[in-house]
Structures are given as structure tokens and as C-alpha cells.
């Protein structure tokens, strides 16, 4: 399934829900399951039961485990059959269940992850910096999947503006993708790690490149090179592992419609199961944690010596997931 978090305007104001994509429509999973329960007559409390099994929040959805995931598939079949037969699909009190994309605002799949960890997993990216810096790839990189932690408060979704920080002259995009952890675990073995992956999404790890380069020279960081409002961009959806083989997916970055970066997930030296094994050593991972792949080879302006500017449109595409699109703007340009 392709799962999304979205906000929609209702009579009680703007609310956040989760849904699944069916072509160009979004199905509210919680309300769809409520409708299913009400019609089947299996319970006199369809709203309460539906919220317990199919909560309208992505992290709580993860916590529901196999029962929630399997129920979601049944709900999609229920709604798809109705749509195919051109039958009405509404909640027990007439609530709208199926939305057109233009009727809602897509958010990051998990609007506020518990944590963000970003790795350096693509060997081609490392080799490019080896050429640029004239310094060999550290031997340690081939022994452990190194990572840094990001600020969960700065997550934005598709179509949200990326605001240019006042302190940088070189803002950069980074073409990445990542995983959401779906269940709690500690000291997870790589062979068992796939069952902890809830889904995949696209990630733009926005960087103040000139500031970042100064900071890492001090053997600490990154700090303000990464910590900036709107600096962690995720979306447009998450794709569940049963529907996506990530062994060789095409990755593309377009700036104002022109292709700047192309790569493949096949260049990952460190797999997500190996990364999970390393990160979870003596540390518990929780549903809603996010772990990114790091930048694909030639996946940022720094490698290309090409630089984005205010007003540019950044589109990151990963085969099988979709396109993550955002405009770069300045504070003064915001409404």
C-alpha cells in the first residue's frame, strides 16, 4: 500500500488523518473501516472499534502491527469494490471517506517522527568526495554505518516551501530515501530487521553546505549546517515493503524540470537491515523512528558544483514511491 498522512477541512476545522492512495484518490482508512463495521453489523460501537484497530495516526497505525496492516488491506478491497461498482462510499453519519488529491493537503507520512537518523550508505557518494577532497574514504566507513541525528521539529511534506536560511550562501538538496521503523526492538539482528521496516519514503536532507563544511572541520556536527527550519523533507507517501523491492530503484533529482542527479538504490553499500542491526545495539528503536539512506552518488549540488537558488522547484523522484516536490523560498516571500 501507499500510505499518507493528510489534513482536510471539516465542519470542526482542520484535522489530520491517514489514508491510502488508490490511483488519484485518498481513502480515509479509519472512516472506511468504521463504515465496513457498521454495515457488517459485527459491533454496535463501530467508531470506537475502528479507532482501536485502525487509528487515524500513522505511528499508532504502525503500533497496530499485522492486525492493523491486514485490516487495512481488507478495507481497501471494500472501498475499491464500491468505487468499481460506482456505489456510494460514506461513513455511518455521512462522513466523506474518499477524497480527491486536490481536496486535501499531503503531509510528511509521519509528520513528527520520534527520531531522525541519516546515514552515509552510498559508496559512489563517498568515492566522489574522495576525489573532491583528495582524502581516502576512512577505513571505518567500511566497518560501521555511520550516522548523525536530525531535528524532528523541522520535518515538512510535499509542496511545503523550503525556506532559505539567512546565514548561508550555498543551500543544497540531497537525493535520498529512507525507512520508518514499524515496531519496537533492541539488539535486532540483520536477518530479522526487515520485519521492523514499516515502509519507505523519499527524503530531501537540506543542507547549508558552506556552514556544514566549516563545522565538520571542528570534529563535531553537523549543527547549523543541517539544523534549519524546513530542513527535513519527506513524502509524498510511504510504500509498504510488500509492494516495493528496493534492490535497484532509479533515483532522480530535477531542478526546475531539468535533471541534475540520477542514481540507483543498488549502489547502497550498507543495507537497511545492516543499518538497523548497528543502530539498535543496546538501544531501543520505536515505531515512528526514521532512518535515511544518505545521498546517492551525484545526488547533491556539492558533488556537481551546481547550486539551487530561491525560487527554484526541487523534485526528487524514487521509482515506485513517487515525486517529492518543493519550492525554495525566502521568509520575505511567504504569505
Task: Please enumerate in sequence order all residues whose Cβ is within 8 A of that of 201, keeping only pairs 6 or more positions apart, or say none.
Answer: 108, 109, 177, 178, 179, 180, 234, 235, 237, 238, 239, 321
Residue 196 within any structural domain of the chain: yes
Residue 223 within any structural domain of the chain: yes
Same domain for 298 and 149: yes
Instruction: Note the pLDDT of residue 221.
Output: 76
Same domain for 137 and 88: no
Report the CATH number at residue 309.
3.90.850.10
Same domain for 151 and 62: no
Task: Please enumerate in sequence order all residues whose Cβ is within 8 A of that of 167, keeping only pairs 6 or more positions apart, or say none.
Answer: 208, 211, 224
List, for residues 21-67, the tens digit of each pLDDT value: 988 899 999 999 999 999 988 888 999 999 999 999 999 999 999 99
Collapsing DSSP to helix, strand or coil, 194 comes out as helix
Domain count for the chain: 2
Instruction: Note the pLDDT of residue 88.
Output: 83
List, for residues 144-163, the tens digit of each pLDDT value: 999 999 999 999 999 999 99
Q: How far is C-alpha 268 from the geometric centre of its chain's CA atoms?
A: 18
The pLDDT of residue 334 is above 70: no
Residues β-bridged to residue 22? 25
Planar angle of CA 223, 226, 229, nearest 5 degrees? 110
Instruction: Note the pLDDT of residue 11.
Output: 75
Residues β-bridged to residue 179? 200, 291
List, for residues 281-297, the tens digit of each pLDDT value: 999 999 999 999 999 99
Same domain for 209 and 303: yes
Axis crossing angle, helix 65-84 with helix 46-53, rounded to the nearest 10: 120
Same domain for 68 and 204: no
Peptide bond into 178 cis (omega under 30): no
The pLDDT of residue 170 is above 70: yes
Question: Residue 307, class by beta-carbon neighbours within 10 Å (0-12 exposed, 13-18 middle, 19+ buried)?
Answer: middle
Closest among 286, 242, 249, 293 to 268, alpha carbons compared? 293
Residue 111 within any structural domain of the chain: no
Same domain for 285 and 150: yes
Residue entry with cell 536530525:
150
List, for residues 267-326, the tens digit of each pLDDT value: 999 999 999 999 999 999 999 999 999 999 999 999 999 999 999 999 999 999 999 999
Which range of residues forms the domain containing residue 173? 116-333
The pLDDT of residue 86 is above 80: yes
Same domain for 329 and 200: yes
CA distance 116 to 114: 7
Amino acid at each position: 500500500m501507499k500510505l499518507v498522512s493528510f489534513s482536510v477541512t471539516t465542519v470542526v476545522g482542520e484535522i489530520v488523518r491517514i489514508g491510502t492512495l488508490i490511483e488519484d484518490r485518498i481513502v480515509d482508512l479509519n472512516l472506511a473501516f468504521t463504515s465496513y463495521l457498521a454495515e457488517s453489523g459485527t459491533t454496535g460501537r463501530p467508531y470506537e472499534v475502528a479507532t482501536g484497530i485502525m487509528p487515524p495516526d500513522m505511528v499508532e497505525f504502525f503500533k497496530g502491527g499485522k492486525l492493523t496492516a491486514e485490516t487495512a488491506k481488507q478495507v481497501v478491497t471494500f472501498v475499491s469494490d464500491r468505487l468499481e461498482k460506482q456505489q456510494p462510499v460514506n461513513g455511518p453519519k455521512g462522513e466523506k471517506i474518499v477524497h480527491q488529491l486536490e481536496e486535501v493537503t499531503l503531509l510528511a507520512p509521519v509528520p513528527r517522527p520520534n527520531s531522525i537518523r541519516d546515514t552515509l550508505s552510498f559508496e559512489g557518494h563517498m568515492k566522489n568526495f574522495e576525489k573532491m577532497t583528495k582524502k581516502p574514504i576512512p577505513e571505518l566507513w567500511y566497518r560501521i554505518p555511520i550516522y548523525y541525528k536530525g531535528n524532528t521539529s523541522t520535518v515538512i511534506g510535499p509542496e511545503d516551501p523550503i525556506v532559505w536560511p539567512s546565514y548561508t550562501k550555498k543551500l543544497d538538496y540531497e537525493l535520498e530515501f529512507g525507512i520508518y521503523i514499524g515496531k519496537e526492538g533492541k539488539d535486532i539482528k540483520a536477518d530479522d530487521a526487515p520485519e521492523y521496516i514499516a515502509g519507505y519514503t523519499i527524503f530531501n536532507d537540506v543542507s547549508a553546505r558552506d556552514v556544514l563544511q566549516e563545522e565538520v572541520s571542528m570534529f563535531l556536527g553537523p549543527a547549523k549546517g543541517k539544523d534549519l527550519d524546513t530542513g527535513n523533507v519527506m513524502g509524498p507517501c510511504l510504500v509498504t515493503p510488500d509492494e516495493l523491492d528496493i534492490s535497484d530503484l532509479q533515483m532522480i533529482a530535477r531542478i526546475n524540470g531539468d535533471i541534475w542527479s540520477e542514481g540507483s538504490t543498488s549502489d547502497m553499500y550498507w543495507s537497511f537491515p545492516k543499518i538497523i542491526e548497528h543502530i539498535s545495539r543496546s538501544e531501543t528503536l520505536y515505531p515512528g523512528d526514521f532512518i535515511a539512506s544518505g545521498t546517492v552518488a551525484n545526488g547533491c549540488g556539492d558533488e556537481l558544483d551546481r547550486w539551487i537558488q530561491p525560487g527554484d522547484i526541487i523534485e526528487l523522484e524514487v521509482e515506485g514511491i513517487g515525486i517529492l516536490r518543493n519550492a525554495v523560498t525566502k521568509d520575505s516571500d511567504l504569505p
